[in-house]
Amino acid sequence: MHSESSIREPLILGHKTYHDITVDIVGPIENKAPRGWYILTSIAALIAAYGIGCILYLIGEGIGTWGLNKTVDWAWDITNFVWWVGIGHAGTLISAVLLLFRQKWRMAINRSAEAMTIFAVIMAATFPMIHMGRIWMAYYVFPLPNQFGSLWVNFNSPLLWDVFAISTYFSVSLVFWYIGLIPDFATIRDRLTKPAWKKAYSILSFGWTGNAKAWTRFEEVSLVLAGVATPLVFSVHSVVSMDFATSIIPGWHTTIFPPYFVSGAVFSGFAMVQTLLLVLRKVMKLESYINVKHVEYMNIVIIVTGSIVGVAYITELFISWYSGVEYESYAFINRATGPYWWAYWSMMTCNVISPQLFWFKKLRTNLAFTFFMSIVVNVGMWFERFVIIVTSLHRDYMPSSWTMFHPTWVDVGVFLGTIGIFFTLYLLFARYFPVVALNELKSILKSSGESYKQQQATADQHH
């Protein structure tokens, strides 16, 4: 009796052998990069350079170059920070949580999702650094021994927990990602002929031999790291949400924030994985490994997390009325009908209404529609953070200090710059690293490869 049902569709399409998998995935690294890659990398690098220029200008001139004012003293910097951290959540979720649940479909997508996590967290970390204004004082956020005299970090502040949460999250994700890459680097090392490249990949692969003991340890370490990384998925974004929830500002002071931010993060993270992978599978011809089934599974996660986010929005609205606190209800009435109504309704449309279209199988298995939706979701999630931050601040208790927030070119430039840096890093990753965990994929070929599935089906019929 087979443990795998023959009803499930194969995850690896085409009649692939172990050798084919290696050739398909290592091929792009061995051969010359296509022209499109150079064009895209140049565009991304130019945008990145412009963004770095804006950051340097900002540090030279001061935070006054942003559109902040006395009432709205937090805006795009923190919006972008939370947005990037959120995007970084899908990678760890795909790798760690699905590994613990023994889900085979994660193997085709985990590598690129983990890379996305690491680059997104780097982008997120730049925002708190630059919004300090005096970046050379950044070491003040670490609980260093008492050289500062009586000055000490405030352990009650969620901004300090952010430092811990994000540095932990980054380091664990990085180790997890790198350990997964080691066997694949060894495969590349054994195939390359140019001595310099061979040397580089042999250093990267830490002398991996691929004997049974190495694989046993590899699997043990992966499980341990997955166990460590899973609570991090929840803790990191809960801490980020507490930056708001521990304040007393109407519209922020909410206990629902941690679970709702976490599901929102997974929601936007999976959308970003779709954006990147749908392009990647086309360009690198990985259709046999990343197929419609994978896309559909990810869309199902998007439906679930999008619905949780929708419930959270409606709960917030209901409680603001039910609480009887007029300031709280005003904050929400102002969100929906005030001067920033367009941001609120963009958020509602993109995050609550649009994912529900994925209930139709025809739509959730349609790649072009999925690609469009993945961008819509990330735009909506950016608006969500903007709405939470700016609309709660711009009208406070004193009507005389009500203002509007207008981003300046520096605000926009820094944000575009981080998108440019992110894509530059991602394109470099796609060129020099195996974008699919090829050695892990081989482990499911016998149970989920198309030709093996067919053999099994015919064998079952003969019984």
Tokens encoding 203 = 């250093």
Residue ranges per domain, the chain?
Answer: 18-133+155-458
- CA 361 → CA 278, 303, 304, 356, 358, distances in Å? 18, 12, 15, 11, 7
- Whether pLDDT at 1 is above 60: no
- What would the pLDDT profile of 101-154 be if each residue is shown by its tens digit? 777 777 777 888 888 888 998 888 888 888 877 788 777 777 766 666 666 777
pLDDT 10s digits, 405-434: 888 888 888 888 999 999 899 888 888 888
CA distances from 203 to 172, 177, 187 (A): 21, 16, 13
- The tens digit of pLDDT for each residue in 173-230 reads 888 888 888 888 887 777 777 788 778 878 887 878 777 888 888 888 888 888 888 8
Rounded Cα distance, 137 and 146, in Å: 16
Q: Exposed e or buried b for every residue in 413-435, given b needs 16+ CB within 10 A? A: bbbebbbbbbbbbbbbbbbebbb
Hey, what CATH class is 18-133+155-458 in? Answer: mainly alpha
Q: Is 80 exceeded by the pLDDT of residue 449?
A: no
